[in-house]
A and B are shown apart, each in its own frame.
Chain A
Amino acid sequence: MSGHSYSYFPGCSQSGTAEEFGLSTEAVCRALGIELAELPDWNCCGASSAHMTNDLLSVALPGRDLAIANLLSKDLLVVCAACYSRLKVAQARINCDEALAGKIEDIVGADPRFNGEVRHLLDMLVNDIGFAYIKKWMKLELSGLKAVPYYGCLLVRPPEFCFCDSVENPTDLDRLLEAIGVEVRPWSFKTDCCGGSLSLSRTDVVERLVNRLFVRAEEAGASCIVTACPMCAANLEMRQKPGRLSFKIEHRVPVLYFTELLGLALGVAGVEKCLARHIISPMPLMKELELLTTERA
């Protein structure tokens, strides 16, 4: 197998609203022979709320995770785009500011100067594993599926931590999808913000951003939106038309994690169960394109 081994930061969303992202990630890694050792007793990175209101807290929370990662002395693989960003920013600040590093060390009670690399799952799959290897294990070409890749904010910004080939027009996810037979439709909204951090508090603002993304995806001729961010996915699926007692969906374009499609292409067991749990069900689309193994059997 591939012989790749990482310590693994699953992140909170991946056992909550984005459970399908976590499950499909682990299944895909198993199928590709990528070893993941979960960081023992990891804590929340603090996400937007920490850096928006308390600078020291926004470094100390991921600082404890980096201190734990130090003990495993492997590169740290991160699934969620926000966790990736927070861990990356914290690592850079700790490692180049001795005064801050000392302060964080005092607070977390361990050495937070992590010398390994913090890597995002997409980066690892595209740049370490590579398309040739993925194709070798592919069981099913996802032909007929038209997708727009949606990177969102935190995979590409801030630019100093962007692993993609471009900040404004990245193609990493595009190329990965093409490798497994997906038809990638061009659109201009790859890295536009969905308003995730305002999802609960200013639903009116978020509704406008989310609907624009759906309209543009439909205009681009996509039958699904593919993302690598659990906040984008939750926000898009749940915020088309926020209301009190009602829940309406006007744009029925499914929002999928790229790992689910990868899992489908690799013939990984359990991915179909993930697909079935989406709020905007991709099942009619998948059945129509005969992409489900249970349908073909």
Chain B
Amino acid sequence: MIDTSTVFDDVVELICGLVGDDLDILGVEVRRDTAFHEDLGLESIDLVTLGGLLAERFGPRVNLAAHLAEYDLDDVIGLTVGEIAEYVADRLREED
């Protein structure tokens, strides 16, 4: 059984690692509706790194690249932390 809140916390941790101290300084709290680009100031090129981090943490079945292939570019830009966490949880559930 996958605990979605644990997955969310894990994803947040990865993203905090990616963004670094900047979150503290910007005073941004990472929540489900925190947007990757708008709130965290990340560029689409940064998804490459996030994809790598997710695969490293959760295994190769979590393939952000394959997942986002379905998305329009606008949707990718507007991606939220919650959406990423949900996808990870889905994949892990399928794995079980």
Is A bound to B?
A: no
Please list the residues of chain A having a beta carbon within 8 angstroms of any beta carbon in chain B.
none
